[in-house]
Amino acid sequence: MIKEGMFIKDIIHDIKTFRTKSFSSNSIGKFTPKRLQNFIKSYLAKNLGIVSQAIRPITLFIETMRGCNFKCVMCRAGDFPKEYLSFDKFRKTADMFSDSFFLFPYAAGEPFLNREFYNMLKYASSKNFYTFVTSNFSVIDVEKFIETQIDEIAVSIDSLNPEKFRKIRVNGDINLVVRNLKKLIDLKRKKNYKKPTISLKMVVMRENLEDVEEVINFCASLGVEKFYIETVFVAEFYQFDVGIPSKQEINYLKNLLQEYKSQGLKIRFSPFCSFEKGDFFSGFCHFAFSSLAIDIYGNAFPCCFLFVRPERSFGNVFDDLGGVMKRRYEFLRNFRKKIPDICKGCPIYYKP
């Protein structure tokens, strides 16, 4: 699938994508020799099919909270009974993969509902991961949070219209979210802290396509530093009753965001579709080759979208870590030949 003469172009695209995603003064000191090796091995595996048996994940997702106080239309977390990962299991999992660069300590739920979450973040900081959290900002204690000194946090805002916000994020209160966001921004300035980077994450559907400009402009005016704009993820195994943007609408969104980029805003556009690359990494699915997602029970998957299909896991890291890594190796070794059974129906298997 890799066309002749495109490899160098893809490398340049991927470097730009990585810089948009994470590169900052906060991240320079996090590159250890082992982490750099992981980047090289993962990149060679994804783009050239050279898969080492010693390949390790660049990115680690740990589900610290299952369940949510919101019931968002594009997420099932609000339907789950609330379950909490213990700090001890979090520490053990993080230690297993201390050579990963990125750590995302959340998945299917609002992580700040877990009372031990602040201690988990402090531990992640002490291990020098690039730690990134997304939150609905409804229950966050900003004074406690800012002292964890993690690298980045993204607030989830899909509309500034209170009624529309409640319709998308059922049980949500946009006024509370904005108050907590402003409080965090003000506190960071008052303390003159470099970390965390404060970002926006917006999930775009037909229901809120018209809100994108207003949300970006408002958050930029507050001092939000980075913007992650993604379309709703829908797959054969992950269905929601929402309006999926058409190709024409995604092209409109791409052009709009390009205008903001030309003004100097740090924007990463992630369209979950097969026909538009956006700011995704080139070629085959980067989640597959770079990530390992571990649910609250210790089951390991190529990505957190598959948490809804537990039968598709590599196994349990607490019971058989060696077996998990062996099955992940076999999964990656065959990934480029044909779409794996566990990924069938996913729109981002390959992006030309």
Closest to 264 in 3D by CA, of 20, 23, 21: 20
Going by pLDDT thresholds of 50, 70 and 90, the confidence category of residue 270 is very high
**130-159 pLDDT, tens digit each:** 999 999 999 999 999 999 999 999 999 999
The mean pLDDT value for 284-290 works out to 93
| pLDDT over 70, % of the chain | 92
Going by pLDDT thresholds of 50, 70 and 90, the confidence category of residue 15 is low
Q: Average per-residue pLDDT in the chain?
A: 92
**218-267 pLDDT, tens digit each:** 999 999 999 999 999 988 778 888 999 999 999 999 999 999 999 999 99
pTM: 0.93
CA dist., res. 294 & res. 316, Å (int)? 8
CA dist., res. 202 & res. 205, Å (int)? 10
- Reply yes or no on whether the pLDDT at 58 is more than 50: yes
**221-235 pLDDT, tens digit each:** 999 999 999 999 988
Query: In terms of C-beta distances under 8 Å and separation of at least 24 residues, what long-range contacts does 157-162 make, across chains too?
Result: 157/181, 157/200, 157/201, 157/202, 157/215, 157/219, 158/202, 158/203, 158/204, 158/205, 158/208, 158/211, 158/215, 159/208, 159/211, 159/215, 160/211, 160/214, 160/215, 160/218, 161/211
- Reply yes or no on whether the pLDDT at 19 is more than 70: no
**180-220 pLDDT, tens digit each:** 999 999 999 999 999 999 999 999 999 999 999 999 999 99
DSSP string, 308-321: G-GGG--EEHHHHH
DSSP string, 60-98: EEE--EEB-SSEETT--GGGSPPEE--HHHHHHHHHHTT
> What pLDDT is stored for residue 23 in this prediction?
53
Pairing mode of beta strands 130-135, 197-204 = unpaired
- Reply yes or no on whether the pLDDT at 17 is more than 80: no
> What pLDDT is stored for residue 95 in this prediction?
98
- Reply yes or no on whether the pLDDT at 1 is more than 70: no
Higher pLDDT among residues 39 and 237, named by residue? 39
SS3 57: coil
Most confident by average pLDDT, 27-36, 75-84, 158-167: 158-167
- Reply yes or no on whether the pLDDT at 59 is more than 60: yes
> What pLDDT is stored for residue 277 in this prediction?
78
Pairing mode of beta strands 266-270, 226-231 = parallel
The mean pLDDT value for 81-108 works out to 96
> What pLDDT is stored for residue 4 in this prediction?
43
- Reply yes or no on whether the pLDDT at 322 is more than 90: yes
> What pLDDT is stored for residue 278 in this prediction?
81
The mean pLDDT value for 342-350 works out to 88
